[in-house]
Structure 1
Amino acid sequence: MNDVSAGQSHDLTLTGERTLPGIWHENYWFRRHEAAYLAVGPYCRDALVLEAGCGEGYGAALLAERHGARVLALDYDPATVDHVRRRYPRVPVLRGNVVALPLADASVDVVVSLQVIEHLWDQPGFVRECARVLRRGGRLIVSTPNRLTFSPGSRSGDRPANPFHTREFAPDELAGLLAPHVEVERLLGVHHGPRLAAWEAAHGSIVAAQLAAPVPEWPAELRAQVATVAAEDFELRADGLADSLDLLAVAVRR
């Protein structure tokens, strides 16, 4: 495990709504999220960054520690905010609503919001608020599950099967949501790298395997694979968006 997640213990409950570090059977999902944070880190170097919907706080801490970013973390849940204050005391954290950000216009360089937008009811309002607090030339960086692979067979606008999601996005749908307020500079997909692809060729979908049985009933090969997944086992690239696991958009405030 890396320096952010090693030795982690929790006063937060793993509900399926968000991932948490330091839990071996959650490691696949945590590393999949961590890969996105590592990819966006260079955009945050020495910048004033708002993480809108910080969750457990590991991402804000990672951006601050590895990239010298001045990160302000924000979340709506009081227990989560209290946890971030205790676990990451060097990360300033606010309680607030991401569709009514408690920040002045044009006050930050970067807004990072990973795996959040699919949980919101007012998604256009969220994008509008992010654009409002960004300085001109600043970037909004958003990630979300790819509807085409996360909920196969679903159609645009369908209510997701995941009870924590309000609306999921295909690549063109995410770009279309962002376009009225920011200019999409890059749209990337998160994919399994060679090690995970090889495991799936032998055993089938690692996601499906994790969902097929309770953790105590996982076969030994699945337990071993999940526990050893690293952020480096995922790739972000612009090709093959329709087949990607997650989408990551980098957009500029003009």
Structure 2
Amino acid sequence: MGILYFFNKKENKDKYIKWLKKNAGERMDANRKELFKPDRCDFHLDRYEFASKYIKDGNKVLDVASGTGYGAFNIRKNNPAIDIIGVEIDEMTVEYANFIYGGGGVISYLKGSILNLPFEDNTFNVVTSFETIEHIEDDKGQVKEVLRVLKDGGLYIVSTPNAWSKHLFGKTKYHVRDYTYEEITSLLSDYCKILECYNQNSGSITPFNHRQKRGIVKTTNENKELAECFILVCQKTS
């Protein structure tokens, strides 16, 4: 049985890696730098490293649009004394996440929509949602649904690309819209308190990076146009 299990597990892993390669344009696993550009992997991983600083022992954490699961996995690696769940709308992506990162029942990945999350009100201390809001037609509904499942005083940590791409090349592929600093802060401040806003840059040679070093720095009026992405730390107020 042990040998059979080993070969079945290897066969399944090969199946998921093949699927990941085929869908690399829309799906990525930033922990697999052998399959994706290392600088882009670091760009995605840096957000989860950043979010981990806001999470405390005993917190219940939700990663919305958790994709292939690497983000929730890395958050828990940094914060082992938490409960964390990932929700992703694509069924095959959920299968991948559970197979690669959900072993032992430590992290659960569920199929679900950010517009109809399968949780009771006031469930989570922290919700992360990175590079999601620009893909959703009903962005206001998305924000309201996240806040519904957050506890009072809980944190909503969200990222979205700066709308430089809209000015350079038109709307980004796969995006419903792109946000300027003014647009994303206006949207979020209608529903929650924005505690902090940061620029994130990859340090890459793409024009989107504006020749900035890799890192996450506080957004100011002087540097907001240089952001590759914005990361906003928001709080649900009663």
TM-score, normalised with respect to structure 1: 0.75
Q: Deviations over 1:9-53 (max 9, x none)?
A: 823234422432324442222211111111111112321111010
**2:131–2:161 Cα contact (<8 Å) kept:** yes
Partner SS, residue 77 of structure 2: helix
Aligned residues: 208
Partner SS, residue 206 of structure 1: coil
Question: One-letter code of the match for 1:16?
Answer: G
1:220 aligned residue: none
Shift in Å, 1:208: 5.0
**1:19–1:29 Cα contact (<8 Å) kept:** no
2:25 aligned residue: 16
**Cα distance between partner residues in 2 of 1:208 and 1:179:** 29
**Cα distance between partner residues in 2 of 1:48 and 1:71:** 6
Q: How does 1:64-143 map to 2 (within 5 A)?
A: 64-68=76-80, 69-89=82-102, 90-143=106-159
1:34 aligned residue: 45
Q: 1:244 aligns with which of 227, 235, 238?
A: 227
1:170 aligned residue: 180
Greater displacement, 176-185 / 234-243: 234-243
Question: One-letter code of the match for 1:52?
Answer: V
1:201 aligned residue: none
**Cα distance between partner residues in 1 of 2:176 and 2:26:** 12
Partner SS, residue 42 of structure 2: helix
Question: One-letter code of the match for 1:62?
Answer: N
Q: CA RMSD in A?
A: 2.2
Identity score, percent? 25
**Cα distance between partner residues in 2 of 1:174 and 1:142:** 10
Q: What residue ranges of structure 1 are gaps of 5+ in the alignment?
A: 1-7, 197-204, 210-231
**Cα distance between partner residues in 2 of 1:35 and 1:170:** 21
Q: 1:235 aligns with which of 184, 195, 216?
A: 216
Question: One-letter code of the match for 1:107?
Answer: T
1:49 aligned residue: 61
**1:19–1:26 Cα contact (<8 Å) kept:** no
Q: Deviations over 1:105-147 (max 9, x none)?
A: 1111111001111111111100000111110000111001101
Q: How does 1:180-199 map to 2 (within 5 A)?
A: 180-192=190-202, 196=203
Q: 1:208 to 1:153 in 2, by over 3 A?
A: closer
Q: 1:59 aligns with which of 57, 66, 71?
A: 71
Shift in Å, 1:176: 1.1
Q: 1:184 to 1:208 in 2, by over 3 A?
A: closer
Q: What residue ranges of structure 2 are gaps of 5+ in the alignment?
A: 1-13
